[in-house]
Amino acid sequence: AQSVTQPDIHITVSEGASLELRCNYSYGATPYLFWYVQSPGQGLQLLLKYFSGDTLVQGIKGFEAEFKRSQSSFNLRKPSVHWSDAAEYFCAVGAHNAGKSTFGDGTTLTVKP
Amino acid sequence: SQTIHQWPATLVQPVGSPLSLECTVEGTSNPNLYWYRQAAGRGLQLLFYSVGIGQISSEVPQNLSASRPQDRQFILSSKKLLLSDSGFYLCAWSAGQGYEQYFGPGTRLTVT
């Protein structure tokens, strides 16, 4: 069975600082990997996805993530955080025709002015 | 382009009353559809998913049920609400199993 772990429940960074949110997955084959963002009281929005090919993927809002098969990780990064990035971030893993995706428990990002 | 709608946005219901939340998708055919619940400060709990009309998979035993009467319509129901049914309910669709999901705006349900 597939699983996703987001080790950090809550992260606080200063505005303008760099950000890295960790995601580790467990899956027997090559996974599809996703990052979503959720602002308070809203639905989730897809930030980026990895299916195959280049292991560094670019997403919306200046985010990127790198797939590292040897570490079973798909960490999300942003070089300079803006106050509007404060939100809940979810990592998810899926696979083609292999059932539903599995979501991590989320990481809450707080941005200090 | 594809759009997903959920209504109502907010709902306050007494314990023991029935529930019906509706989700519709526009701009795509034969989507996979999902219902999630999010308790305050918690992650997503998958409640039901559907790969086609009349095909519903339940993830957890509970007081809720789901139906898919039309290709792009997904309904979450309960005959008698419990206090523990309170939460934020999210509908989502995907183009296939394992693919990225697109979420609706959610329904905030408070059972009193």
pLDDT digit string, tens, across residues B28-80: 999 999 999 998 777 899 999 999 998 999 888 678 999 999 999 999 999 99
Contact B44 A43 (CB under 8 A): no
Q: Which amino acid is at B26?
A: E
Domain of residue B90: give its range. 16-96
Q: How far is A79 from chain B, CA to nearest CA, in Å? A: 25
Q: Is residue B10 part of a domain?
A: no
Q: What is the pLDDT of residue A97?
A: 65
Strand partners, A25: A4
Total length of chain B: 112
Q: What is the pLDDT of residue A27?
A: 85
Residue A98 scores a pLDDT above 70? no
- Taking any CB pair shorter than 8 Å as contact, residues of chain B touching chain A are 32, 34, 42-44, 46, 49, 88, 90, 92, 94, 96-106, 108
Residue B9 scores a pLDDT above 80? yes
pLDDT digit string, tens, across residues A39-66: 998 999 999 999 988 999 999 999 999 9
Contact B43 A41 (CB under 8 A): no
Q: What is the pLDDT of residue B91?
A: 97
Mean pLDDT of A15-27: 96
Residue A111 scores a pLDDT above 90? yes
Q: What is the pLDDT of residue A74?
A: 97
Q: Is residue B79 part of a domain?
A: yes
Question: Any long-range contacts for A65-72 (C-beta under 8 Å, 24+ apart)?
Answer: A65/A23, A65/A33, A65/A35, A67/A33, A69/A30, A71/A24, A72/A24, A72/A25, A72/A26, A72/A27
Q: Which of B88, B97, B105 sits opposite A99 (nearest CB)?
A: B97
Task: Return the CATH number at B88.
Answer: 2.60.40.10
Contact A100 B97 (CB under 8 A): yes
Q: What are the structural domain ranges in chain A? A: 3-112
Q: Is residue B9 part of a domain?
A: no
Nearest CA in chain A to B90: A43
* A3-112 fold: Immunoglobulin-like (2.60.40)
Selection from B79, B45, B86, B46 nearest residue B63 by Cα = B79
Residue A68 scores a pLDDT above 70? yes
Total domains in chain B come to: 1
Q: How far is B2 from chain A, CA to nearest CA, in Å? A: 14
